[in-house]
A and B are shown apart, each in its own frame.
Chain A
Amino acid sequence: MNQNKTFTLDGKTIPYTEGQTIIQAAMAAGEYIPHLCFNPELKAHGSCKLCTVKANGRQTASCTQQPTPEMVVESDTQELNDERRALLQMLFVEGNHFCPSCEKSGDCQLQATAYVLKMMSPHYNQFYPDRPVDASHPEYLLDFNRCILCSLCVRASRDVDGKNVFALSGRGIKSHLIVNAKSGQLADTDFCDADKAAHVCPVGVILKKRVGFATPIGSRSFDELPISATPHPQGACPVCPRSDAATLPPHPKSRGA
C-alpha cells in the first residue's frame, strides 16, 4: 500500500492508506477525534455526528469520510467542539441519563465524552421518554432509557455474531431498539454473553447482571485519564469496548468482565 499519502489534522501530518477513513488514520496516529457510533472493529455508521470535522472547509463525519492527499482537516476547534457539545446535550435530553445511579458511570463513553468536551449542563429541556427496561434475560439487562441509537449492537450482532438480535425500529424521535423475539423480550432471543453484541454498547443499555459494581467507582476506564488521552495501539481505540479482550493487550482499566 502507498504509505506516503498524508493529510493534516489540526496542523499535524497524518499518514493514511487507501480505504482508511479520517478517523481510522487519526486513531492509528494516536490522535483523538470524539466519536460514539464508531467502533474500529465494526463497519462505520455515521449517525451520531460527534466525529464531525471540517475537511477542506466542508463539514463531514470523519468516520465515513476518506481523506484525499494533502486534505486539510480541522477537528479540535472551538466551533466544532461547540457543535459536538450541542449534539451531546441532545443525546442527554433525548434519553433518561441519570449518571449517578447508572452502573456504567465511569465506563460510559457518552459521559466521558461529555467530560472531555466540558459539557456543564444538558441545556435543552428533558424529553423524559417512557422506555421500560427488559430484565427478562438471566444474564443481561437492557435499560433502554440510555440508548443513544448508535446501532453498534445491531451491527455487532448482524455482522459479527450472525444473529440479528438487535434492530432499530420506529422513525424520527420515535426510533427505538427492538430485539429479535415475538415476545419482544431478550430472554426469547439467542443472545448470550459470548456475543460481540454483548460488549459494544458505549453507554449503559446492555448490562451484564450481578457485576455492575465489581469495578468500584473511582477505578473505572475514564476515572483517571480522560477518554481523549487514552493511547491508541494498533490503530484500534482502547476505549471502545470489545469482546476479544483475551487476544488484545489488557484494557487500561478492565471493565469487570
Chain B
Amino acid sequence: MTINVHYKLTRMSVESDKGSYHQRVFMISPEKTHAEYLDTILAHHQHNANNLLQILIAAQDVHGYIHSDAIDHLSEQMALPRSKIEGVAGFYSFLHLQAAGDYRVLFSDNITDRMAGNIDLMKSLCSQLWVEPGKLSEDGLVCVGTTSCTGMCDQGPGMLVNNIAINHITAERINAIAELIRERVPLSAWPASFFAIEDNIRRRDILLNSQIQPGAALKAMLARGDNATLQEIKTSKLRGRGGAGFSTGMKWEFCRDAAGDAHYVVCNADEGEPGTFKDRVLLNGYADTVFEGMTLCARIIGAKQGFLYLRGEYRYLLPHLQAVLQKRRGQNLLGTSILGHEGFDFDIAIHLGAGAYICGEESALIESLEGKRGTPRNRPPFPVTHGYLNCPTVVNNVETFASTCLITTHGGAWYSGIGTETSCGSKILSVSGDCERPGLYEYPFGVTIAQVLADCGAQDTQAVQVSGPSGVCISADEFNRRIAFDDLATAGAFMIFNQTRDMFEVARNFVHFFAHESCGFCTPCRVGTQLLSNMMDKLADGNGSPYDFTEIEKLNVLLQSTSHCGLGHSACNPVLNTIEKFRPAYDKRLAHKDFIPAFDLDRALSQARQMTGRDDTGAHLESSHESK
C-alpha cells in the first residue's frame, strides 16, 4: 500500500501544475498507473504467456509487489484468467501479491548460515527495526525473514535485500543496514562494498585453468564436423554435473534424433541445492565457455533458441551475463549465420527464477520457462523428446556445458583419460562449513574426502554432507571414500561439520528446507515433508521416543516409493543418514522410552497462566512429561 501511495504521490508532484491534490488523486486511476509500466513490460515480452513469470518479476520490481489492479491489466492484455496469474505468482516465494515492504530482507537459512550465527543477526536487525520476523512493519517500510540457501556459503552469513545478495554479514553490517533502512536510503546508494561477491577459487584443474578463447570451441566443432564432435563428447564419457549423471553425449544424440517442430537448449542455472555455489562462479568468470557449450549443443541437436534459467538469488549476475551475450552477438558467436555458416542460427535468452528450489528439477524448470507453476511433469515422456513447448529439449547443468567446450577443443580421448574409469574428467566442489578456506575446489574425479579436507584446512571434522541435503552424510570412518559416480556422486556441495556441531540440528535444518521447498503437487511429499519437520521439532523439544524413529522410517519408505519426483524421494535422507551415523545426537533427545505425544497438557496451560498472572502449583497440571 505504502509504496503504491508513494508512487502515486511522485506522479502527482510531477504533474501537480495540472490540478489540485484532490483532482489528481481521482484523475489518476490505478489502472492507468499500472497500465503505464505494464505495457512497456508486456511489449518487451511480446505479451507472450510463456513469459508470464518474467513479466510478473518485472512488474513486481516497480511496486515491490504485484498489485491486484496490475493483475487486472495483465489478465486483460494477455487474455489469461486471473486465477492462472495468481496461481503462478503464488507459487514463487519471491513474488508477492500483497505489499511486502519497500525493503524486503531475507536471511539465507542454510545450516552453514546458522553455524555463522544468522539467527542472532536476524533478531538484532528485527529489534533495531521494531519488526517481527516474517511480518511487514506497520508503516510498510520493511519485512525481515528467512529464505533457503542463497548459494553464498563460502562467504556467509548471506542475505538478500530486494533480491540482491549481501554477504559476510556481521553485527556492524547489521547496524549499518538498520540505519540505511530507517533512513530510507535507496539500495542503489548503499555502500558498494556490501554487494561485493568473491569467487574464492582455491584449486583449479582442467576446467578452471582453461583459457578457451571465445569461439575456439565453435571453430573446432565446425572444422571437425557436427557428428564427429558429438562422437568426441560420447568418447569423453562426460556425465551430467547437475546430479543425475546421465551421459551427455547420449542425451544430445537422443534429442537430435527426436522429431519436433523445433529443438531447444536449456542451461540449468537454478543451483538450488543448499551448499552448492559453483555455477555462480562459473557464470561469473566463465560465462563465455558456458554459452559456447550451449551453442555447440544447439548446432548438434539443431536448436535455434536457448535459455539460461538463472535462479532469482543470482539476479545480480544478470547485467554481466547480458553483456557477455551481447558481446558474443557482436563477435558473430550468436545470432544468424554464426561464424559465417549459413543456417547456423542460435540465440540465448535468460529467464529468471523467483525462489523455488523445485525449478532445478528439469521438467519443473521447463514448466517455469513456460511461465507456469514449477510442478514436475509426469515422466516419461522426458524432456529430450517432449521438453519446452513439448519439443525435444536438452537440459544440462552449467558445469556440463562448460565441460563440453573443453572436450571439443582437447578431444574426447584426452578428457576420458582424466579421472577414473567410470567417472571421467573433473568435478568442481563447493566447499563450505568448518574449514579455513571455503570456496571452489576442482579435482579430477576420484579424489578422497580426506584429501579435500586437508586441502581446505578442515580440522576435527565430524561429518561431511556430500551433494547437499538430498545427498549423503559421511562420517569420519568413511573419509577415504571418493568423489565419483560409483562411490560418492555429487552435484558439488561439500559442507563440513566439526566435532562441536550437533548433527541432529543439521538434519533438522535440511528437513525444514525440504518442507519449505516441496512443490505441493503430490500427497506424500506435500504432507510427508511437513510431518517429518514436525517430528524433528518434536524431538528437538525433548518429546522424542524410539517410536518416532519407526515412524520416520515408515515415512521414508512411503516417500521413496510414492513421491512424484526426486525431492520427495530424498526428503528423508538427512534424517535416516544421521540416525544411522550420529545416533548419540538423537539419543540425547530421547528422554522417554515410551511414546510421548507432541502435545503437552501443562504447557498448553501456560498462556492461561500468563493471562491470569498465576504460577502456583494449582495452576499446573501434573505433566505427563517434564517440559524442557
Q: Which of B83-111 contact A (CB under 8 A)?
A: 83-84, 86-87, 89-93
Judge if A250 is at the interface, Cβ distance under 8 Å: no
Shortest C-beta distance, B382 to chain A (Å), equals 14
Complex Cα gap A126–B263 (Å)? 48
Complex Cα gap A124–B535 (Å)? 10
Judge if A93 is at the interface, Cβ distance under 8 Å: yes
Judge if A102 is at the interface, Cβ distance under 8 Å: no
Are A182 and B527 in touch, CB under 8 angstroms?
Answer: no
Residue A171 contacts which of B83, B520, B554, B599 (CB distance < 8 angstroms)?
Answer: B520
Complex Cα gap A173–B529 (Å)? 9
| A156-196 vs B, Cβ < 8 Å mask (1 yes, 0 no) | 00000001111111111111001111100000000000000
Are A49 and B523 in touch, CB under 8 angstroms?
Answer: yes
Chain B neighbourhood of A93, CB < 8 A: 527
Judge if A127 is at the interface, Cβ distance under 8 Å: yes
Residue B520 contacts which of A46, A52, A90, A173 (CB distance < 8 angstroms)?
Answer: A173
Complex Cα gap A173–B373 (Å)? 15
Chain B neighbourhood of A182, CB < 8 A: 68, 71-72, 82
Residue A179 contacts which of B83, B93, B524 (CB distance < 8 angstroms)?
Answer: B83
Chain A neighbourhood of B530, CB < 8 A: 127, 172-173
Residue B90 contacts which of A46, A148, A170 (CB distance < 8 angstroms)?
Answer: A170
Chain B neighbourhood of A91, CB < 8 A: 523, 527
Are A164 and B84 in touch, CB under 8 angstroms?
Answer: yes
A sample of 8 inter-chain contacts (CB < 8 A) reads A83-B557, A83-B558, A87-B524, A90-B528, A125-B597, A127-B530, A171-B356, A173-B529
Complex Cα gap A91–B523 (Å)? 7
Are B562 and A173 in touch, CB under 8 angstroms?
Answer: no
Assuming the contacts A59-B562, A90-B531, asked whether A169 and B523 have C-beta atoms less than 8 A apart, the reply is: no
Judge if B522 is at the interface, Cβ distance under 8 Å: yes
**B interface, size bucket:** 35 or more
| A133-169 vs B, Cβ < 8 Å mask (1 yes, 0 no) | 0000000000000001100000000000001111111
Judge if B501 is at the interface, Cβ distance under 8 Å: no
Chain A neighbourhood of B378, CB < 8 A: 46, 61, 64
Judge if B564 is at the interface, Cβ distance under 8 Å: yes
Are A86 and B520 in touch, CB under 8 angstroms?
Answer: no
Complex Cα gap A136–B144 (Å)? 35
Are A167 and B87 in touch, CB under 8 angstroms?
Answer: yes
Q: Which of B392-437 contact A (CB under 8 A)?
A: none
- Most B CB within 10 A of own CB, among A46, A49, A164, A181: A49
Shortest C-beta distance, B455 to chain A (Å), equals 38
Chain B neighbourhood of A180, CB < 8 A: 81-83
Chain A neighbourhood of B517, CB < 8 A: 172
Assuming the contacts A87-B562, A94-B527, A169-B91, asked whether A49 and B522 have C-beta atoms less than 8 A apart, the reply is: yes
Q: Please report the number of residue pairs spanning A and B whose Cβ atoms sit closer than 8 angstroms.
A: 116
Shortest C-beta distance, B470 to chain A (Å), equals 16
Judge if A8 is at the interface, Cβ distance under 8 Å: no
- Most A CB within 10 A of own CB, among B84, B89, B520, B599: B520
Chain A neighbourhood of B81, CB < 8 A: 163-164, 167, 180
Residue of chain A at shortest CB distance from B378: A64
Judge if B228 is at the interface, Cβ distance under 8 Å: no
Are A149 and B90 in touch, CB under 8 angstroms?
Answer: no
| B503-533 vs A, Cβ < 8 Å mask (1 yes, 0 no) | 0000000000001111111111011111100
Residue A173 contacts which of B68, B522, B527, B554 (CB distance < 8 angstroms)?
Answer: B527
Residue of chain B at shortest CB distance from A64: B378
Residue A174 contacts which of B520, B522, B563 (CB distance < 8 angstroms)?
Answer: B520
Complex Cα gap A83–B83 (Å)? 33
Judge if A47 is at the interface, Cβ distance under 8 Å: yes
Chain B neighbourhood of A168, CB < 8 A: 87, 373, 520
Judge if A48 is at the interface, Cβ distance under 8 Å: yes
Complex Cα gap A148–B86 (Å)? 19
Complex Cα gap A171–B90 (Å)? 7
Complex Cα gap A127–B520 (Å)? 15
Chain A neighbourhood of B561, CB < 8 A: 52, 59, 83
Are B83 and A167 in touch, CB under 8 angstroms?
Answer: yes
Shortest C-beta distance, A197 to chain B (Å), equals 12
- Most A CB within 10 A of own CB, among B72, B515, B564: B564
| A81-99 vs B, Cβ < 8 Å mask (1 yes, 0 no) | 0010011001101100000
Are A178 and B87 in touch, CB under 8 angstroms?
Answer: yes
Residue of chain A at shortest CB distance from B562: A49
Judge if B534 is at the interface, Cβ distance under 8 Å: yes
Are B558 and A169 in touch, CB under 8 angstroms?
Answer: no
Q: Which of B434-451 contact A (CB under 8 A)?
A: none
Residue of chain B at shortest CB distance from A37: B523
